[in-house]
Structure 1
Amino acid sequence: MAAVMPAPAASRHLMSGNEAVARAVWEAGVKVAAAYPGTPSTEMMEVVSTYPDIYAEWSVNEKVSLEVAIGAAYAGSRAFCCMKHVGMNVASDALMTLTLTGVIGGLVIAIADDVGLSSSQNEQDSRYWGRFAHVPVFEPADSQEAYDMTKLAYELSERFQVPVILRMTTRINHVKALVTVGERVPHVGAGFKKEPGRFVMVPGNAGKRIPLMFQRDIELRAAAESSPLNVIEDGSDKRLGFIASGPAYMHVKEAFPDAPVLKLGFSHPLPFEKCRALAAQVEQVVVVEEVEPLVETELKAQGLKVLGKEILPLQGELSPNVLKPAIARLLGEPEPEKAPFAPMAVFPRPPTMCVACPHLGVYYTLSQVRNINIAGDIGCYTLGAGHPWNALDTCVSMGAAMGVALGMDKGRGTSDKDKRIVAVIGDSTFLHMGMQGLLDMVYNKGSVTVLLLDNRAVGMTGGQDNPGNGRDIHGEEAPRIDFAKLVAALGVKEERIHVVDPYELPVLFKTIREEVKVPDVSVIITNQPCVLIKDYHKLKPYAVIDDKCTGCGNCIDVGCPAIHVTRRGKEVKASGREVDLAFVRIESSVCTGCGLCVQPCAPKAIVHHVPSAPIQFAKEGSCA
């Protein structure tokens, strides 16, 4: 991406939470920023990379990205790292020791929680990491606070020499609001100073750092008590007071504008005395938090009588339409009437792959292969679990396809002792956490066929670059991994490595069918780019000849969304068996000419599209 010109001081811009954080990172004088893409966090690093004066990178996974940021912070420079909530599971190994060493330059770790599960496999609450790692947690409620708190986090980080977690949620990451911004303030690191007793965490040194961590906890709690980020907002209705943070605070203010509220911006360590002060003003206290009852549990342990998850859901966003009925029941009031709503009849739109996606041929082929179990992974290709393919049996976490497939192989039961095992994984996911699983598979003599789908992009999060496509975060040339050589280096035998074009269905089918029969580890690498990146080149589109179409429906089984059913029918075969027919057309305006649908079409009814004759307009001045 090209560098952007910095905005003038004190100017206002419409920014998402991600954009606001990126702006604050630049203004705070950060020198090094690293991340791995993951919705809803991705745009933070994408925007950071457009600012001058910052080294920015897409790392191969979240652990590496945090370690890069740690190194910069050890050298006295300000550093930034961001990830989605499940990314911290990967990075936590580094975090849990970083809490002992601390930092020199400020380090902010932005974690984007996916409350409501818009694009994730779980809804874990990243506030736990503050408790687990003994580090402070900031929780913005809108874009302006995301900007302000990021800058304040660097000040706190350097004051206490501790990383600070900026806990975001999808509601903050992707919603835009007006943000007042300033200018960059340069920050020059002093350089790394050797201090083995602090930075070399062998047991003897680590044991001496633990008391310092606990002492820091006490000091951080005092800082939270006095922080202007934690404020009691008075209200006239004293029946209930609320304790809330982040988007939950905004929902409370919308639903109960007259109630006193303790707004937590610096939410860990929890300011107990401010919580007691609120409780003294009201008859009852309700803790509104997304999603786990962390604050509620800590306050009850302190002897404070509060309500929380007894009356509120344990999952999802706590929007006003959730809060109002729950509080009405608590107060013994009639629940608010729901506005009459006539649901709009919308044609069902299940998630599917893009037109001409190179994964379509893979899943169409897998759906035709019998007697296999398929371990899947995280990415666009997870959609292979859906209709019409139904060709994915598991999906757990990044890189899990490899280990799960090996476990399926080694843990065969009586019902699947003859099943062949297939693992499906994408290029970026393989580089993120799949290489170790393949090495383990080879080392432990598994019998698994691995489909490594190389589409030259981190597709699910927007087509970001990775080491597999030869471009860095700025789109500039970088070393490109040769996957065939890489898997060979991990121990896969040369004769068991195949590179195939996923649009050539007969070759793909033959290769998969043969390799699943081999009692060894084999890797089939597909080699066509994502259709949404610049590496992909469209071909002449196709169309259906209506008179030739027999309604067999083979083209529909490919799963391309450019193919539409125009009418259905039935046919009785000579055997007496009734067969469903589906007559189709191809939306030529979106067809890219990949040819996947042509190959299974028995009557050869799919041909290159011939545009209709252009409309003839009358010449100027005529009356035609």
Structure 2
Amino acid sequence: MNAVEPKSADLRQFISGNEAVALAARDAGVKVAAAYPGTPSTEILEYVSKYPDMYSEWSINEKVSLEVAIGASLAGSRALCAMKHVGMNVASDAFMTQTLIGAVGGLVIVVADDVGLSSSQNEQDSRYWGRFAHLPVLEPSDAQEAYEMTRAAYGISEQFEVPVIVRLTTRICHVKSVVVTGEPETHASTGFKKDPSRYVMVPGNAKGRIPMMMKRDEALQAYALNTSLNRVEPGSDNRVGFVTSGAAYYHVKESFPDAPVFKLGFSHPAPIDAIRDFATTVDNTVVIEEVEPLLETELRAAGVEVHGKDLVPKIGEMSPAVITPPVSKLIGEAITEGTLIPTSEVFPRPPTMCVACPHLGIYYCLSHIKNTIISGDIGCYTLGAGHPWNALDTTISMGASLSVAQGLDKGRAESDANKNVLAVIGDSTFLHMGMQGLLDITYNKGNVTILLLDNRAVGMTGGQDAPSSGLNLQGEKTTQVDFRKLCEALGVKPERIHEVNPYEMPVLFKALRTEVKIPEPSVIITNQPCVLTERYSKLPPLKVETDKCTGCSNCLDVGCPAILVDRRETVVKPNGKEKELAFVSIDTAACTGCGLCTKPCAPDAIVPAFNVSKIDAVEIK
């Protein structure tokens, strides 16, 4: 059945939590959805974009996406905003004010926590935002509940005139299960009605909204005690009872299937009195939550005796292997063979860039630029910190490379006086939060060289379109940002802005060596597309002529995964020192003929695998 056709009631589908949220938004009559790509939440908007009755957009960053959703809510329409946990930090300025304004049309903020740091620079617990902002938090445990709770969130949002957080985790976002959908509903926009005392948050108006927020808290606490989103599941073994939510619920059920469980779907405000009553029915009450001891602390403050992080870690997923040993010890149960799910060692696969990635040549050059401090950012190019390049010295957060570089420049010690400061940032990250950093550098006369890696996509999260691509979420042509003009508008002198093909490493290397010596801001823009997008054009593959290969291993320093080591040999040099040689081959099935590896190959042993006239750089379509 076509995804855009209306669904009948009780249609069973095998889908992920992310797709379930998108379906729920459609079936709840959502009119506007906005997000910025970020694993594990990215696919929510990608699925939403398939439904033409909903307006959807990749916003420039998470703050903008939330503000778009807020505007739609104030216009009386139902709205969805989705982001990963670190994106909530970016959106928090608007978020913390909206708690006082509230919602008109249903406003749901889906936040996906990367528990276990699968693809994030930190591990956060977004349940704190509910406490911080006085907003309700719903926590689905699987894709079915992701669908049901997202739909329920719109009713709660409009009933209490409050934004609602739906907190997912990586496990919920990506694991698929059978979902039964309900009958879609329509929601007519009520229109924008002027109310400056509510919508204009100057101090006088904001103060008047605080008593409303406190009264709303009381109403939500009463709702938490009676909602069917929270439930008690009786068990036959009362030695231990669990209070849990989200994906941890299934880990608990797998670990102790006979134990009573208080399952929280509406986890904030927490139904403290109901949990207190539950605790009296079991010998030991254990709170299993990912990741912080948030509910545990609240229960203890309320005088409820519970165990929690005194038994299980404060980091990572609460899998059966994590839960079973400490809880079994608590109740005096021996761990027998077969109790735990066996784990197997996986052959280590260090993360690396794709074959022919335009960033490979960039980091090869950076690894050979001496006396330089390199400030990195968030994206595929963060991998430049690893082997074989080791060419990043800092990575903090989205857009931080430029601001950090400015601080490194202005705060340098005497011992660093002669060192160059260089910042590396991608196109979508630059537009997300890096432009302000460049303006700060030029305005405050910093001495920083910026490498702006324009690959025409949000590469790290799957190649989504960005303003640098000239295409929107639906693939329609739109305004394409001109980075040269933008950098000039932000204060960089025209003669200090250069566009370079990163596959032409000698040209790139010369530009880098020249610009780091200039005592003022300069920008080098690399201009080749992500190899996983349609804009990239492959060339015939390359091969290694084994009789010419000297084992120098210079090509390995490029870091391309298509270059394979066939054998290693150790030789003794005339000075008596040993040197290891690595004789290589190229996986022609993977090679795209970009020619990067030919540049450092002294014996010219890398040649076309087929009969072509020359090796050239890839071109943009």
TM-score, normalisation: structure 1: 0.96
Tell me the distance in 2 between the aligned counterparts of 1:194 and 1:186: 24
Task: Tell whether 2:209 aligns with 1:209.
Answer: yes
- How far 1:282 moved relative to its partner? 1.2
- How far 1:52 moved relative to its partner? 2.2
- Secondary structure of 2:415's counterpart equals coil
Contact 2:450-2:523 within 8 A present in 1 as well:
yes
Amino acid at match of 1:464: Q
- Secondary structure of 1:479's counterpart equals coil
How many corresponding residue pairs? 610
Tell me the distance in 2 between the aligned counterparts of 1:44 and 1:316: 23
- Secondary structure of 1:109's counterpart equals strand
- Secondary structure of 1:374's counterpart equals strand
| Mapping of residues 358-397 of structure 1, within 5 Å | 358-397=358-397
Task: Tell me the equivalent position of 2:99.
Answer: 99
Tell me the distance in 2 between the aligned counterparts of 1:426 and 1:336: 52
- How far 1:166 moved relative to its partner? 0.1
Tell me the distance in 2 between the aligned counterparts of 1:611 and 1:549: 20
| Mapping of residues 466-481 of structure 1, within 5 Å | 466-481=466-481
**Structure 1 residues 396 and 303, CA gap change in structure 2 (3 angstroms):** same
Deviations 1:216-267 (A, max 9, x none): 0000000011000111111121111110001111111111111111100000
- Secondary structure of 1:580's counterpart equals strand
Task: Tell whether 2:446 aligns with 1:438.
Answer: no
- How far 1:345 moved relative to its partner? 7.3
Contact 2:492-2:521 within 8 A present in 1 as well:
yes
Contact 1:3-1:52 within 8 A present in 2 as well:
no
Contact 1:500-1:524 within 8 A present in 2 as well:
yes
- How far 1:9 moved relative to its partner? 2.6
Amino acid at match of 1:456: R
- How far 1:179 moved relative to its partner? 0.4
Deviations 1:283-337 (A, max 9, x none): 2211110000110000111111111111111101111111110112212332343
Which range moves more in the overlay, 334-343 or 407-416? 334-343
Tell me the distance in 1 between the aligned counterparts of 2:417 and 2:256: 60
Task: Tell me the equivalent position of 2:581.
Answer: 581
- How far 1:276 moved relative to its partner? 1.2
- Secondary structure of 2:391's counterpart equals coil
| Mapping of residues 166-315 of structure 1, within 5 Å | 166-315=166-315
Tell me the distance in 2 between the aligned counterparts of 1:149 and 1:559: 45
Tell me the distance in 2 between the aligned counterparts of 1:546 and 1:224: 71
Which range moves more in the overlay, 169-178 or 406-415? 406-415
| Mapping of residues 212-611 of structure 1, within 5 Å | 212-337=212-337, 346=347, 348-610=348-610
- How far 1:602 moved relative to its partner? 0.5
Deviations 1:343-396 (A, max 9, x none): 5673x4210000000000000000011111111000000000000000011111
- How far 1:103 moved relative to its partner? 1.1
Deviations 1:10-65 (A, max 9, x none): 21000100000000000000000000000000000000010121000000000000
Task: Tell me the equivalent position of 1:122.
Answer: 122
Deviations 1:69-107 (A, max 9, x none): 000000100000000000000001001000000111001
**Structure 1 residues 355 and 92, CA gap change in structure 2 (3 angstroms):** same
- Secondary structure of 2:40's counterpart equals coil
Tell me the distance in 2 between the aligned counterparts of 1:278 and 1:452: 57
| Mapping of residues 36-75 of structure 1, within 5 Å | 36-75=36-75
Amino acid at match of 2:433: M
- Secondary structure of 2:56's counterpart equals strand
Tell me the distance in 2 between the aligned counterparts of 1:345 and 1:101: 50
- How far 1:342 moved relative to its partner? 8.9
Contact 2:321-2:341 within 8 A present in 1 as well:
no
- How far 1:544 moved relative to its partner? 0.6
- How far 1:268 moved relative to its partner? 0.2
Where do 5+ consecutive residues of structure 2 fail to align? 613-621
- How far 1:6 moved relative to its partner? 3.6
Tell me the distance in 2 between the aligned counterparts of 1:345 and 1:142: 26
Tell me the distance in 1 between the aligned counterparts of 2:206 and 2:557: 58
- How far 1:340 moved relative to its partner? 10
Deviations 1:403-459 (A, max 9, x none): 111111111124322211110000000000000011011111111110000000000
- Secondary structure of 2:416's counterpart equals coil
- Secondary structure of 1:415's counterpart equals helix
- Secondary structure of 2:76's counterpart equals coil
Tell me the distance in 2 between the aligned counterparts of 1:334 and 1:417: 63
- Secondary structure of 1:57's counterpart equals strand
Tell me the distance in 1 between the aligned counterparts of 2:568 and 2:207: 72
- Secondary structure of 1:86's counterpart equals helix
Amino acid at match of 1:70: I
Which range moves more in the overlay, 100-109 or 234-243? 234-243
Tell me the distance in 1 between the aligned counterparts of 2:134 and 2:212: 11
**Structure 1 residues 380 and 345, CA gap change in structure 2 (3 angstroms):** closer
Tell me the distance in 2 between the aligned counterparts of 1:94 and 1:409: 32
Contact 1:142-1:247 within 8 A present in 2 as well:
yes
Tell me the distance in 2 between the aligned counterparts of 1:340 and 1:255: 10
Task: Tell me the equivalent position of 1:617.
Answer: none
- Secondary structure of 1:326's counterpart equals helix
- How far 1:535 moved relative to its partner? 0.3
Tell me the distance in 2 between the aligned counterparts of 1:308 and 1:501: 55
Amino acid at match of 2:413: G
Amino acid at match of 2:208: K
Tell me the distance in 2 between the aligned counterparts of 1:594 and 1:60: 31
Amino acid at match of 2:4: V
- Secondary structure of 1:263's counterpart equals strand
- How far 1:540 moved relative to its partner? 1.2
Contact 1:324-1:336 within 8 A present in 2 as well:
no
Amino acid at match of 2:566: T
- Secondary structure of 2:24's counterpart equals helix
Tell me the distance in 2 between the aligned counterparts of 1:9 and 1:71: 31
Tell me the distance in 2 between the aligned counterparts of 1:335 and 1:440: 59
- Secondary structure of 1:131's counterpart equals helix
Tell me the distance in 2 between the aligned counterparts of 1:269 and 1:518: 57
Contact 1:362-1:508 within 8 A present in 2 as well:
yes
Task: Tell me the equivalent position of 1:615.
Answer: none
- Secondary structure of 2:465's counterpart equals coil
Tell me the distance in 1 between the aligned counterparts of 2:25 and 2:203: 34
Tell me the distance in 2 between the aligned counterparts of 1:308 and 1:578: 55
Deviations 1:569-619 (A, max 9, x none): 23344444433211110111111010000111101111110289xxxxxxx
- Secondary structure of 2:247's counterpart equals helix
Tell me the distance in 1 between the aligned counterparts of 2:404 and 2:343: 45
**Structure 1 residues 280 and 343, CA gap change in structure 2 (3 angstroms):** closer
Tell me the distance in 2 between the aligned counterparts of 1:589 and 1:460: 23
Contact 1:232-1:274 within 8 A present in 2 as well:
no
Percentage of identical aligned residues: 65
Tell me the distance in 1 between the aligned counterparts of 2:250 and 2:406: 47
Tell me the distance in 1 between the aligned counterparts of 2:289 and 2:345: 32
Tell me the distance in 2 between the aligned counterparts of 1:367 and 1:492: 26
Contact 1:27-1:185 within 8 A present in 2 as well:
yes
- Secondary structure of 1:92's counterpart equals helix
Tell me the distance in 1 between the aligned counterparts of 2:482 and 2:275: 57
Q: CA RMSD in A?
A: 1.5
Tell me the distance in 1 between the aligned counterparts of 2:341 and 2:148: 40
Amino acid at match of 1:548: K
Tell me the distance in 1 between the aligned counterparts of 2:342 and 2:547: 45
Contact 2:367-2:390 within 8 A present in 1 as well:
yes
